[in-house]
């Protein structure tokens, strides 16, 4: 009866029943089924640097010991060329400590029933461990791989050690599963490293690992505490869609961390130095703490669900907060926010003359009020004016300046059209913005910024109100800045007092000018004084008045 072999077996198999090992020429059987004399002959044919083909062979301790001894280069290490172990079954401890693989090495779909250790091994070419099953521990500690490395869909039942390993080119662990502790401390990944879809059932550690290329942990599952604290990750650290059942400790320097749509059941601790983080859509059931140093900044907190979230020392100038579930649970300390455009503006809308002093706002309000585009246009125009003045001072022609100005304007318009912020959100978005301002104003340790956020909430309410309500809020803003600008109220009070005092002074002076002068008694001329003067008789007082007897 013909044997049924898997389709991926493309080698001549052993003649022994139920064996799919590769034949050892010139025999028709694999090395595991050779008799003693045949095995001695086959082993004598091996020498340091020889190729090795044990595909599909069941390898026991005796066979592995004979082969490794034949490949020994005299310095206590086995040295082999092209090594092929696809679908091999290691029924003993597989010890390749210090081995040198001068060619490519492939272990695809092999099975290790006991310990597998490659401690200190050197791979000069590529190495593949795709779909390998390790029933016990795996040690890849202090291993150097000069070429590409593939560990896709491997299963390690116990601890896996990759500490201090060095991978010269890309390495992939896609779909791998680590049932035990996994350690990658101080490992060096010179190119891209992909851990997409990996399952870490127990603790995982990447302390002081070096990622010189992109490091991808998309859709990775962390079953226990995870220490993702690389010494460097030059091209970014992607944790998009990752799931952490325990705590997640991430520390990075000078790189971008992508935590979009990640879910962390335990507490999240994120320490960022001179880098940026994107937490859009992240779910933090155990709360989170984000600490920044240097130029650390957060790009987005859209849709973040966290009852407790602490941000310290980060730049939030470009951070969007729309969709934040619990703004009242956010604590902000020492953070940097964007400010409103300052100065006086003249427009066609009422009021035609507007002035604004700088206040701290959210980037969402910048988008809502279309400030960013106007600022970009103003900066572009200022740069062009400075360049025109410099060209004029240097004696360049007017035509050249005009042509350059037209080109710069066209280039600026094209650039701005590509990064144009979204149109003003609907009223529901304005209500959400006011909700964010009210919630975040309670989470700030800076009283001045808290007042600015409360002011922003009232501004959004005023701009979205209609009819008499808007006029009342406008008056409230004009008089005292919604009760948050006391200097404005004092200014109005001083102005009203000055106007009242001036009015009193003016009215008092006008009364003094209009009042008639009363004659003094000394100015009344009597008949004794008027000697010899005939005084006509008064028709009212009669002659008595004329005689002075009245």
Q: Is the pLDDT of residue 102 over 80?
A: yes
Domains of the chain: total = 1
Q: What is the pLDDT of residue 185?
A: 96
Average pLDDT, integer, range 498-503: 81
Q: Is residue 438 part of a domain?
A: yes
Beta strand 343-346 with 353-356: parallel, antiparallel or unpaired? antiparallel
On the question of pLDDT at 441 being above 70, the answer is yes
Token pair recorded at residue 330: 């956010």
**pLDDT above 70 (res 348):** no
Lowest model confidence (mean pLDDT) among 110-114, 321-325, 378-382: 378-382
What lies within 8 Å, CB to CB, of 163 at 6+ separation is 141, 142, 183, 184, 185, 186, 187
Q: Which of 45-54, 443-452, 536-545 has the lowest mean pLDDT?
A: 536-545
Does residue 546 lie within any of the structural domains?
no
Span 48-56, average pLDDT: 96
Question: Is the separation of the CB atoms in 240 and 261 below 8 Å?
Answer: yes
> Higher confidence at residue 387 or residue 397?
387
Residue 45: predicted pLDDT: 94
pLDDT value, residue 363: 84
% of the chain surpassing 70 pLDDT: 71
Residue 265: pLDDT over 90: yes
Q: Which long-range contacts (CB under 8 A, 24 or more apart) does 226-230 make?
A: 226/200, 227/203, 228/204, 229/271, 230/206
pLDDT band of 145, cuts 50, 70, 90: very high
454 in a structural domain: yes
Domain coverage including residue 354:
344-379+430-485
The pLDDT, as a whole number, for residue 422 is: 41
> What's the confidence (pLDDT) of residue 440?
86
Among 29-43, 61-75, 526-540, the range scoring the smallest mean pLDDT is 526-540
Q: Coil, helix or strand for 441?
A: helix
Q: Which tokens hold the place of 287?
A: 């709360």
Q: What integer is the mean pLDDT of 114-143?
A: 98
Across 63-67, 374-378, 430-434, the highest mean pLDDT is recorded for: 63-67
Which pLDDT score, from 0 to 100, does residue 548 have? 43
Residue 227's pLDDT is 93
Sheet holding 79-80, edge to edge: 79-80, 100-101, 122-123, 144-145, 166-167, 188-189, 210-211, 232-233
In a domain, 374, yes or no: yes
| pLDDT band with cut points at 50, 70 and 90 for residue 463 | low
Q: Which residue would you say has higher pLDDT here, 412 or 424?
A: 412
Q: Residue 4's pLDDT is what? A: 64
**pLDDT confidence tier of residue 424, bands split at 50, 70 and 90:** very low
Contacting residues for 95 by C-beta, under 8 A, at least 6 apart: 64, 68, 115, 117
Supply the pLDDT for residue 545: 40
Q: What mean pLDDT value characterizes the chain?
A: 82
Q: Is residue 475 part of a domain?
A: yes
Q: Which among 227-241, 273-287, 504-518 has the top mean pLDDT?
A: 273-287
Residue 25 domain-assigned (yes or no): no
Task: Give pLDDT, residue 189.
Answer: 96
The reported pLDDT for the residue numbered 9 is 86
Determine the average pLDDT of the residues in 20-45.
94
Instruction: Look at residue 460 and tell me if it is in a domain.
Output: yes
**pLDDT (0 to 100) of residue 412:** 52
Ranges 122-131, 419-428, 451-460, most confident: 122-131
Please measure the distance between the N-terminal and C-terminal CA atoms of the chain and give it in whole angstroms.
Answer: 166
pLDDT band for 194, please (50, 70, 90 cuts): very high
pLDDT over threshold 90, residue 153 = yes
480 in any annotated domain: yes
pLDDT for position 487 = 66
Q: Average of pLDDT values for 17-35? A: 93
Q: What is the rounded average pLDDT of the residues 388-404?
A: 58
What's the pLDDT score for residue 529?
44
Range of 102-106, 399-403, 421-425, 439-443 with top mean pLDDT: 102-106
Which two structure tokens, joined as six digits, stand for 371? 């400030």
pLDDT surpasses 70 at 345: no
Is it the case that residue 342 has pLDDT exceeding 80? Answer: no
Q: How far apart are CA 454 and CA 447, in angstroms?
A: 10
The first and second tokens of residue 245, run together, are: 């059942």
């Amino acid at each position: 009866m013909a044997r049924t072999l898997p389709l991926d077996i493309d080698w001549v198999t052993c003649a022994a029943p139920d064996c799919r090992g590769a034949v050892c020429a010139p025999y028709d059987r694999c090395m595991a089924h050779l008799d003693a004399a045949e095995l001695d002959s086959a082993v004598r044919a091996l020498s340091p640097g020889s190729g090795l083909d044990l595909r599909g062979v069941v390898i026991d301790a005796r066979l592995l010991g004979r082969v490794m001894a034949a490949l020994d280069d005299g310095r206590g290490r086995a040295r082999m060329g092209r090594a092929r172990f696809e679908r091999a079954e290691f029924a003993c401890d597989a010890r390749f400590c210090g081995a040198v693989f001068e060619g490519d090495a492939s272990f695809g779909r092999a099975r290790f029933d006991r310990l597998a250790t490659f401690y200190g091994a050197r791979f000069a070419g590529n190495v593949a461990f795709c779909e390998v099953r390790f029933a016990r521990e795996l040690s890849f500690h202090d291993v150097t791989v000069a070429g590409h490395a593939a560990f896709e869909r491997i299963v390690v039942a116990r601890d896996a050690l990759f500490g201090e390993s060095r991978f010269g080119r890309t390495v992939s662990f896609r779909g791998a599963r680590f049932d035990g502790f996994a350690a990658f401390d101080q490992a060096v990944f010179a190119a891209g490293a992909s851990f997409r879809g990996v399952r870490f059932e127990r603790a995982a550690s990447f302390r002081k690992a070096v990622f010189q290329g992109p490091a991808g942990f998309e859709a990775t599952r962390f079953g226990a505490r995870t220490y993702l604290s690389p010494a460097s990750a030059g091209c970014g650290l992607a944790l998009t869609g990752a799931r952490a059942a325990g705590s997640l400790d991430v520390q990075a320097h000078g790189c971008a961390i992508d935590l979009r749509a990640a879910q962390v059941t335990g507490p999240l601790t994120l320490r960022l130095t001179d880098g940026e983080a994107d937490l859009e859509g992240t779910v933090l059931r155990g709360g989170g703490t984000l600490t920044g140093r240097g130029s650390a900044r957060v790009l987005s907190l859209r849709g973040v669900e966290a009852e407790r979230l602490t941000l310290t020392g980060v730049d939030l100038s470009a951070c969007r907060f729309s969709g934040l579930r619990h703004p009242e649970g956010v604590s902000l300390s020492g953070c940097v926010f964007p400010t409103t455009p300052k100065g006086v503006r003249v427009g066609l809308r009422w009021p035609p003359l507007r002035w604004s002093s700088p206040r701290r706002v959210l980037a969402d309000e910048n988008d809502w009020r279309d400030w960013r585009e106007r600022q970009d246009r103003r900066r572009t125009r200022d740069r062009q004016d400075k360049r025109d003045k410099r060209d004029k001072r240097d004696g360049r022609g007017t035509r050249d300046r005009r042509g350059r100005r037209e080109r710069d304007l066209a280039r600026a318009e094209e650039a701005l059209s590509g990064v144009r912020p979204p149109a003003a959100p609907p009223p529901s978005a304005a209500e959400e913005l006011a909700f964010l301002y009210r919630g975040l104003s309670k989470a700030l340790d800076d009283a001045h910024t808290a007042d600015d956020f409360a002011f922003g909430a009232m501004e959004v309410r005023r701009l979205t109100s209609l009819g008499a309500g808007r006029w009342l809020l406008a008056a409230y803003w004009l008089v005292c800045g919604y009760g948050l600008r006391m200097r404005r109220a004092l200014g109005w009070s001083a102005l009203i007092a000055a106007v009242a005092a001036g009015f009193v002074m003016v009215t008092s002076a006008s009364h003094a000018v209009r009042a008639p002068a009363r004659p003094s008694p000394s100015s009344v001329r009597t008949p004794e004084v008027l000697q010899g003067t005939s005084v006509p008789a008064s028709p009212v007082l009669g002659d008595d008045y004329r005689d002075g007897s009245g």
